[in-house]
Amino acid sequence: MDFSELSHQSEIRDSLDKILIEQCITENLKKFDDKFKHDEELLSLLATNGYLGLGIKEKYGGTGENLYDLGILFEKLGYHAAPLSLIGCLVDVAQTIQKFSDDERHLSLITSIIEGNIHTSAILEPLNQDPENPRTKAEITGNQLTITGTKYLSELASKSKNILVSVNSHEGVLLVLVDSNKTDISELRTTANSPSFKVDLNSVCVDRSSIIHTEGRGLEALRYLIQINMVMRSYLALGVTEKMTSLIAAYTSERKQFDRVIASFQAVSHRAADCFIDLECLRLVNQQAAINLNSNLDCENDALVAKIWASNAAHKISYSAQHLHGGIGADKDYLLWRYCLLAKECELINGSSSQNIERLGLNITSNQ
């Protein structure tokens, strides 16, 4: 057993911190509070320095296949509230293609992504509780697929050349790349102002060669995509909640009421300690899920456990942080509020705690 990080992983952590501290200063973040939250400059900086290749095989231009490395990136993006939404691109598209495709045309997208281009995914559907069973349909005739359906919460769809969509067909579930020009895209406004889109597909025609996996592996690929999406979102939540907890520690150690620092009230220090406990649990379940998904394509229970902890920690730590800050925590001139919004998105996107607990309960009782 070995929980320790490799030296290159600590280096990634430190050097990412350096870049993001500089780029995510309040002045910069403010620019994206109300308008399209996507920092092109930061994206190209990350690309130039090779960070978009984390978790990608060297032969495609990455730093080596390892989801733990990629987790560090999302943790840090969360920690610094970076104005970038990259799970669709780096996780759903790049990782799934890397694992399931042997077609050069698809694999070239990975290289394109590493260079800083956007190719996103559109998986979730309004009110569909079971993303493994898409309502979006593909009619297959000969070599042609005709796709119809509605997807939402697709990150950066407007910037994306290709969109990876999940569909159902008489051949079962498929993951298909669609040219974004063939879809209708409209911007949604989410609570954290994330660059999120509705994608309508009205009889969009694509060639069979746009399916990214070999025959019969569609469901397996989609399940893998959903699981790594959960785990990387949980890493984002880890960064968000780590930051909120460090803000609690710093602020309550300075703020005075009744002639003493408020951290010296036991109720305050205990509530902060509870945040620390949650964080420790979240960090470990994330680590386990990322490591296991490195060697096994299906670790649904590990992914669910990570996401359940992420949802719960995001909720609890957010309200602890707000409470322990008093009024200043709600003031948009202070930084906590951005993290509260991000925490809510991490909590609910790709399955809430209650929903995932039900799912986990079904899994662990159905194999008996």
Partner 1 sequence: MRKQDEILVAEMLIQLNAKQAKLKSELQEYFEGLMTPALKAELNNPNHFEGGGPEFKNAMQTMGADGWIGLSWKKELGGKELSPMEQYIFVETVMRTGFPFPFLTTESVGPMIAENGSDWAKEEIATKILQGKLIFAIGYSEPNSGTDLASLKTKAIKEKDGYLINGQKMWTSLANFSDYIWLATRTDFEVKNHKGISIFIVPTDDQGFSMSAINTLGDVRTNATFYDNILVPDSYLVGKLNEGWSLITSQLNLERLALVNHGPVEELYNNVLNLAHQTKINKDQYLTDLSWVKHNLAQVYSGIEALKLICWKQTWIMESDQLNMAEASVAKVYGSEFFIEAYRLLMEIMGELSLLKNESELSILNAKLERMYRTASILTFGGGTNEVQRDIIAMAGLLMPRTR
Ligand X SMILES: Cc1cc2nc3c(=O)[nH]c(=O)nc-3n(C[C@H](O)[C@H](O)[C@H](O)COP(=O)(O)OP(=O)(O)OC[C@H]3O[C@@H](n4cnc5c(N)ncnc54)[C@H](O)[C@@H]3O)c2cc1C
* Structure-token pair, residue 83: 């104005």
Residue 198 C-beta: closest distance to ligand X, Å = 33
Compare residues 12 and 268 and give the one whose CB is closer to ligand X: 268
Compare residues 3 and 258 and give the one whose CB is closer to ligand X: 258
In the numeric block, the tokens 């509780």 are attached to 129
* Structure-token pair, residue 161: 């050349």
Interaction between residue 50 and ligand X (CB under 6 A): no
* Binding-site partner at residue 124 among partner 1, ligand X, none, CB < 5 to 8 Å by type: partner 1
Compare residues 246 and 355 and give the one whose CB is closer to partner 1: 355
Tell me the residue type at 72: I
* Alpha carbons 340 and 267: distance in angstroms, whole number: 22
Measured distance between the N- and C-terminal CA atoms of the chain, rounded to whole angstroms: 28
Q: Three-state SS for 328?
A: helix
Residue 184 C-beta: closest distance to partner 1, Å = 12
The angle subtended at Cα 73 by Cα 70 and Cα 78, nearest 5°, is 130
What residues from 323 to 342 belong to the interface with ligand X (CB under 6 A)?
323-324, 326-327, 330
Interaction between residue 319 and ligand X (CB under 6 A): no
Task: Catalog residues that contact partner 1 under the rule CB under 8 A.
Answer: 124, 126-129, 152-153, 186, 188-192, 198, 256-258, 265-268, 315, 319, 322-323, 326-327, 329-333, 337, 340-341, 344-345, 348-349, 352-355, 357-358
* Binding-site partner at residue 349 among partner 1, ligand X, none, CB < 5 to 8 Å by type: partner 1
Decide: 77 and 45 in contact? Cβ < 8 Å. Answer: no
* Alpha carbons 260 and 158: distance in angstroms, whole number: 52
* Alpha carbons 94 and 119: distance in angstroms, whole number: 9
* Alpha carbons 345 and 342: distance in angstroms, whole number: 5
Decide: 135 and 104 in contact? Cβ < 8 Å. Answer: no
Compare residues 1 and 362 and give the one whose CB is closer to partner 1: 362
What residues from 249 to 268 belong to the interface with ligand X (CB under 6 A)?
255, 257-258, 262, 265, 267-268
Interaction between residue 270 and ligand X (CB under 6 A): no
Note the residues at the interface with ligand X (CB under 6 A): 255, 257-258, 262, 265, 267-268, 323-324, 326-327, 330
